[in-house]
A = this chain, B = another copy of it.
Amino acid sequence: MTAITEQTLQHPSTTLIIQMVIEAWQNLQKQQPLVQCITNSVAANYAANVLLAAGASPAMIDNPFEAESFANITSALSVNLGTPTPDQMQAMKISAETVSKKSIPWVLDPVGYGAILKWRSDMADTLVSLKPTVIRGNASEISALAGNQVQSKGVDSTVASHEVYKQALPLLQNCECVAISGESDFILSKELNAVIQVNGGSFLQPKITATGCALGALIAAYCAVTTPTIATISAHIHFAIAGKLAFEKNQTVGRFNVAFLDEIYSLNVDKISNYANIEVLKF
């Protein structure tokens, strides 16, 4: 990977960032990193297929009895609180502690965080204290996790990503990046001391269940091959381009979803160069 001086990091151009995203994608294809996913029953199949299509090697090891030994050898970990069981809760904690000790990157997706779903929210707080590499969620979840009073509608957001991203700033005390998905995605980066806005995608993505969960897993995969910031941006660009191109070909959910997987699989350097659409914002 291109060496990055402190100066370029502090004032990165979008061109430089996109160049680093291209390298991250190339690394993903070469290294096909092993990604342990502890995820929900809705996302398990979908997230695995997205990771395989993107070039990574998923392993859904989610029991407490193998959580430590597997976390010791994985290249990255994705923890998702969608439909937790008590056993999975234990596995999450054990695996997160294990990877944290070994500086293996991991991603936390606090699905449904808020007052109504207290059991998982307490676990999310515990996991945040273990300092995930990246925290990602929708606007409602991230805002609530940062301590704000937000209404959610079940597991779907009721607020827009551009309205809340500044509220997420305190979370950077516990992680390298915070990512908020929405019509545009916002990525708060400690490394860049900036917010990256990722445009693209399609309004149909939230009409497909578990796209957010799969995005969290893909961030973890990229974390195995580049820095947390570039990993998070890369995964969001990967999804934004796939969503945009899939929607150009198919405007109904069934065929869109098939095309979306095709486009996750078919990303290449030209598509990243032509379609990546980001802006660098100040905090």
A60 touches B45 (CB 8 A): no
A207 touches B (CB below 8 Å)? yes
Q: Which residues of B contact A257 (CB under 8 A)?
A: 49, 254, 258, 261
A125 to chain B, nearest CB (A): 15
Return the contact of A83 from the options B62, B65, B206, B207 (Cβ within 8 A): B62
* A262 / chain B contacts, CB cutoff of 8 Å: 252-255
Closest to A261 in B: B254
Residue contact B208 to A49, C-beta cutoff 8 Å: yes
Within 8 A of B (CB), among A245-283: 252-255, 257-262, 264-266
- Residues of A in contact with B (beta carbons under 8 Å apart): 34, 36, 40-46, 48-49, 52-53, 57-63, 65-66, 69-70, 72-74, 82-87, 112, 116-120, 153-156, 206-210, 252-255, 257-262, 264-266
Which A-B residue pairs are the 8 nearest by beta carbons?
A59-B154, A254-B261, A48-B209, A65-B119, A254-B262, A252-B262, A254-B258, A41-B44
